[in-house]
Amino acid sequence: MTDAAQRISALRHELDAHNYRYYVLDEPSIPDAEYDRLFCELQQLEQAHPELISADSPTQRVGGSALQAFAEVQHSVPMLSLNNAFSEDDLRAFDRSVQAGLGLPPGDLFGGGAEVDYSCEPKLDGLAVSLLYVDGLLVRGATRGDGSTGEDISANVRTIRTIPLRLQGSGWPARLEVRGEVFMPRAGFEALNARQVDAGAKTFANPRNAAAGSLRQLDPKITASRPLEFCAYGVGEYAADLPSSHIAMLEQLKAWGLPISRELRLARGVDACLAYYAEIGARRQSLAYDIDGVVFKVNSLEDQQQLGFRARSPHWAIAHKFPAQEELTELLDVEFQVGRTGAVTPVARLRPVQVAGVTVSNATLHNMDEVARLGLMIGDTLIIRRAGDVIPQVMAVVPERRPADARPVQIPAQCPVCGSAVERTQLVKRSKGRASLSEGAVYRCVGRLSCEAQLKQAIIHFVSRRAMDIDGLGEKIVEQLVDNGLVHSPADLYRLTHEQVLALEGFAELSTRNLLAAIAGSRQPSLARFIFALGIPDVGEETAKLLARALGNLPRISQALPEVLTWLPDVGQEVAHEIHSFFADAHNRQVINELLEHGVQPQQSSELAAEFTACASLAELLEKLAIPGIASTGARLLAEQTGSLEALIALSQDWLTLAQCKGLNEKARQALREFFADPQQRRRAEDIDAQLQAFGMHWLSERRQAGGLPLLGQTWVLTGTLESLSRDQAKQQLEALGAKVAGSVSSKTHCVVAGPGAGSKLAKAAELGIRVLDEEALLSTLQELAEQCDE
Ligand code: IVH
């Protein structure tokens, strides 16, 4: 065999294998761009060696064979494919061939020539479907299959809501075959994948696969549950005279109730086509669905007829593809980066490849669970995707291309920067009253600030604008300070001397004085900035602000038990655990003490914010303890009947009284008794209770006993946006003071709180003469009422 014959045979085998995976299994293993390249290579080789063309070459037919499980459908008019244009030159060549085919003057360098009218439509990334309407009724839906034989998927297409079962209007031909694309909009795709994850089922790589997988279901109930849509782009059989143009024909289909593209336009001449391509390309990411290019069709149907077809595609249409968003490349290695909190993150080092116009040579792999999910091995060929500005992502491995010497990816046992141990994070879970640990996805270097990577990142974070805001301390300087051994913790910044800074590269007298002044000037940050600057894992600016505002001072924040922290809005168990263990760590405590010793004084109040004093209730404490069998109703009943933890514990151990307790079944009573009989659990409950009391977070129930809540019996309405607290927080506080918070204004409403953007509710309040407060007035009212309660 000659070299060319060998290559042709290899390409045919490879393309056949991909076709099978793509059309039959719906599991493509290479991106479309790679398939197109292989196909082009084969086409070119066959053009150069026409004696080697055989009838079974993938270039001589349209696709794969039909699935066995569905009945076969013969397409009376073949379902063709489209030729591709990958560049402006390709498109201009297509335009010239159209002009030539129609016998029109082609024009020259200076323009001129006859301009052809083209219809422009997005090229939807789904799968082609034929719909047959007989006497206006949908009688059959079919896939394209190999172009002449498809599969009967009538039951499935009937489940797609955008496909009419009966045509509207009148005048349709007795037999009308509509062709178009079935696709899945991106939002529906994301939601479907989220559902698949919840159900422990396989997720789909992209919306096209999801659409294909959903349409090829033998059970139409599954198809019905999938967010599929249809868009018509042409006709097959048409037992009547056709309108005069492609666009008129689509408009006609639309009048009969079929969805067509909203982006359908007419372009006169190739330059207008290029403008359309650029315009849609710029909007590509904001469309609700994936498109991989645009389709240009000669608009006049008479001209289409004159131009005719070749084997696989018409002469009168072309798909102008966008640069591929997915490409193949090789995984050269996996390196591990150490972040600020010690997280050791795998990073893929790739053979550089152009994806959507940008060279990609690295991609984050997020964590080791992701590496396992993808099944990556070093040496593998990977599919890389880059959409818009989105950072490149590794989508999948191409299993067929795994080399024999592929190596597994292993998390290093030692930190690549400092050599400390690398440990897997543990997640704390509380369920049925017991704390249990499970393995997290993140590995951490345990070296903390003794690890140079963590130290540098921690200091860069500490000095950053939103943290301690030390001007003039850029990354390069931080590196020098660490590399020269001048700084081992953020506290050391406040010990730097004039001589030490002056000796650094790039520093002179003035710059030295400026930097030291900036450091000294940062000594009195707000408490929120200070907390944020500490770099507690999972504590961003917002959480830091919340902690500062709610708890008021550093001692409370650093001592707060995880359960107490979860009383704050938006603080969940995980974050509460991170905060608590950060402050429990001896090394972190030492750094904080040193900062304070060096004169750093976070601005704090001794007060617990009024908004939180009234937020705790005994029922909630009971819920947080997660006693088996005691859910919110049981917790509320017990709280009402006892009023304090002490009384509750006494009750739980007093079998006789407990037996008379309302609303608890035998099992719950037993669980309650066992829970508080366990000294550890009892201590935990008492500690939380004591801390709440110490912080001044009063029981709602105590408040009630103390003479009723000030807003009891009142109905309040919140409308518009609030700035310093969320609507939920405002609601919680109002409820804590006894108010009922309702969604609509009526004559029974006592007060309306209106922020910017308030509309009809505010108008209604004005109409009914109801008191209206703005945010400032609300805050001072809350404060006053909370103080009244305290008295
Ligand atoms: S026209 C003879 N128009 O692209 C012309 N196709 O590569 C046949 N496609 O099988 C197709 N959007 O699944 C046409 N606006 C559009 C399209 C479109 C997507 C798909 C279709 C077809 C494939 C051809």
Q: Is the pLDDT of residue 761 over 50?
A: yes
Q: Identify the pLDDT of residue 24.
A: 41
**Strand, helix or coil for residue 684:** helix
CA of 122 to the centre of ligand 1 (A): 9
Average pLDDT of the segment spanning 777-782: 86
User: 292 CB under 6 A from ligand 1?
Assistant: no
Do residue 241 and residue 146 come from a single domain?
A: yes
Do 543 and 518 sit in the same domain of this protein?
no
Q: Are residues 457 and 583 in the same domain?
A: no
User: Buried b vs exposed e over 243-267: b needs ≥16 C-beta within 10 Å?
Assistant: eebbbebbebbbebbbebbebbbeb
5 is in an annotated binding site: no
Round to whole Å and give the CA distance between 242 and 251. Answer: 12
Residue 250 belongs to a domain: yes
Compute the distance between CA of residue 485 and CA of residue 478 in angstroms, rounded to an integer.
11
SS3 at position 609: coil
Is residue 612 assigned to a domain?
yes
Distances (CA, A) of 526 to 92, 469, 559, 596, 686: 63, 11, 19, 14, 32
Q: Is 632 flagged in the annotation as binding? A: no
Write down the pLDDT at residue 790.
Answer: 57
| Measured distance CA(383)–CA(327) in Å, rounded | 6
CA distance linking residue 732 with residue 716, whole number of Å: 12
Both structure tokens of 585: 């760590």
Is residue 87 located within the same domain as residue 195? yes
Q: How far apart are CA 504 and CA 481, in angstroms?
A: 8
The gap from C-alpha 334 to its chain's centroid, in whole angstroms, comes to 24
pLDDT score at 63 = 32
Mark whether 224 and 179 lie in a shared domain: yes
Question: Does pLDDT of 389 surpass 70?
Answer: no
The protein residue whose alpha carbon is closest to atom 14 in ligand 1 is: 233
What atom in ligand 1 is closest to the CA of residue 234? 1
Q: Is the CB of 172 under 6 A from ligand 1?
A: no
**104 domain-assigned:** yes
Q: How far apart are the first and last CA of the chain?
A: 100
Q: If you measure from the C-alpha of residue 297 to the centroid of ligand 1, how many angstroms do you get, rounded to a whole number?
A: 10
Lowest mean pLDDT across 207-211, 252-256, 731-735, 775-779: 731-735
Catalytic residues: 123
Question: Could you tell me if the CB of 233 is within 6 A of ligand 1?
Answer: yes
CA distance 233 to 235: 7
Of 393-397, 589-593, 741-745, which gets the smallest average pLDDT? 741-745
Question: Looking at residues 183-207, what average pLDDT do you find?
Answer: 87
Q: Which residues contact 627 (CB under 8 A, 6 or more apart)?
A: 433, 671, 672, 675
For residues 169-180, give the mean pLDDT: 94
Which pair of tokens denotes residue 444?
């951490």
Instruction: Tell me how far the alpha carbon of residue 130 lies from the centroid of ligand 1, in angstroms.
Output: 12
Cα(81) to centroid(ligand 1), Å: 6
State yes or no: pLDDT of 615 exceeds 70: no
Q: Which residue from 35, 82, 238 has its CB within 8 A of the most atoms of ligand 1, so it is best to mutate?
A: 82
Q: What is the pLDDT of residue 606?
A: 73
Say how many domains are in the chain.
5
Structure-token pair, residue 141: 């839906």
pLDDT at 663: 74
Tokens found for residue 365: 């792999």
Residues 303 and 452 in one domain: no
Binding site membership of 124 for ligand 1 (Cβ less than 6 Å): yes
**Cα–Cα separations (whole angstroms), residue 54 to 5, 12, 37, 127, 450:** 12, 10, 20, 28, 68
Any binding-site annotation on 81?
yes
User: Among all chains, which residue has been given the structure tokens 């151990």?
Assistant: 653
On whether both 634 and 677 belong to a single domain, the answer is yes
Q: Tell me if 121 CB under 6 Å of ligand 1.
A: yes
Q: Does residue 436 sit within a domain? A: no
| pLDDT above 50: residue 767 | yes
Does 532 map to a domain?
A: no
**Which of 284, 288, 367, 377 lies closest to 325, judged by CA?**
284
Please answer whether residues 480 and 504 qualify as being in contact, where contact means their C-beta atoms are separated by less than 8 angstroms: yes
How far is ligand 1, taken at its centre, from the CA of residue 269, in Å? 21
Confidence band (pLDDT; 50, 70, 90) for 273?
very high
The distance of Cα 476 from the centroid of its chain, to the nearest Å, equals: 33
Of the residues 695, 724, 743, the one at which a domain ends:
695
- Say whether 297 counts as a known binding-site residue: yes
144 in a known ligand binding site: yes
What does pLDDT average to over the chain? 88
pLDDT digits (tens, 9 = 90+) for 619-644: 888 888 888 888 878 888 888 788 88
Give a yes or no: residue 489 inside a domain.
yes
The closest alpha carbon to 311, from 436, 148, 454, 420, belongs to 148
Q: Is 81 in the pocket of ligand 1 (CB under 6 A)?
A: yes
Please tell me the distance from the alpha carbon of residue 617 to that of residue 607, in angstroms, as a whole number.
Answer: 20
> Is the pLDDT score of 231 beyond 90?
yes
Helix or strand (DSSP H, E) at 354? strand 344-355
Q: Which residues contact 602 (CB under 8 A, 6 or more apart)?
A: 524, 525, 526, 527, 529, 530, 531, 554
Which of 151-160, 246-255, 507-516 is least confident?
151-160
Is 206 a member of any domain?
Answer: yes
Q: Is the pLDDT of residue 261 over 50?
A: yes
Lowest-confidence pick of 7-21, 60-74, 569-583: 60-74
Predicted structure pTM score: 0.60
What pLDDT is recorded for position 476? 94
For residue 24, the domain's CATH number is 1.10.287.610
Q: Do 546 and 464 reside in the same domain of the chain?
A: no
Return the top range by mean pLDDT from 48-57, 222-231, 590-599, 665-674. Answer: 590-599
Q: Based on the number of CB atoms within 10 Å of its own CB, is 619 exposed (0-12), middle (13-18) or buried (19 or more)?
A: buried
pLDDT at 702 over 80: no
Q: Which atom of ligand 1 is nearest to the CA of 314?
A: 2
Q: What is the pLDDT at residue 431?
A: 61
Residue 293 has pLDDT above 70, yes or no: yes
The answer to whether 19 and 147 have CB atoms below 8 angstroms apart is no
Amino acid at 393: Q
Q: Is the pLDDT of residue 64 over 60?
A: no
Q: Are residues 90 and 56 in the same domain?
A: no
| Better pLDDT: 735 or 578 | 578
Query: What mean pLDDT is predicted for residues 660-678?
Result: 86
Backbone angles phi, psi at 314, to 5 degrees: -80, 155
pLDDT at residue 45, rounded to an integer: 93
Identify the pLDDT of residue 772. Answer: 87
CB neighbour class for 305 (10 Å; exposed up to 12, middle 13-18, buried from 19): exposed
pLDDT of residue 464: 95
CATH of the domain at 487: 1.10.150.20
Asked if residue 137 and residue 232 are part of one domain, the reply reads yes
Structure confidence at residue 1 (pLDDT): 74
- What per-residue confidence (pLDDT) applies to 673? 92
pLDDT in tens, 69-115: 788 999 999 999 999 998 999 999 999 999 999 998 877 766 667 89
Residue 232 labeled ligand binder: no
- The residue out of 642, 660, 695 marking a domain boundary is 695
123 Cβ closer than 6 Å to some ligand 1 atom: yes
Structure tokens at 359: 């060279």
Give the domain extent around 644.
537-695
- Where does the pLDDT of residue 433 fall: very low under 50, low under 70, confident under 90, or very high at 90 and above? low
* Cα(537)–Cα(577) distance, integer angstroms: 10
The predicted model gives 57-69 an average pLDDT of 54
User: Domain of 195: which CATH number?
Assistant: 3.30.470.30
Mean of the pLDDT values across residues 118-138?
95
Q: Say what the pLDDT of residue 762 is.
A: 86
CATH of the domain at 725: 3.40.50.10190
pLDDT at 236 over 80: yes
- From 244, 296, 245, 355, select the one nearest 120 (Cα to Cα): 296
Q: Do 609 and 498 share a structural domain? A: no
Which one of 321, 343, 358 terminates a domain? 321
In a domain, 529, yes or no: no
Note whether 509 and 452 are same-domain residues: yes
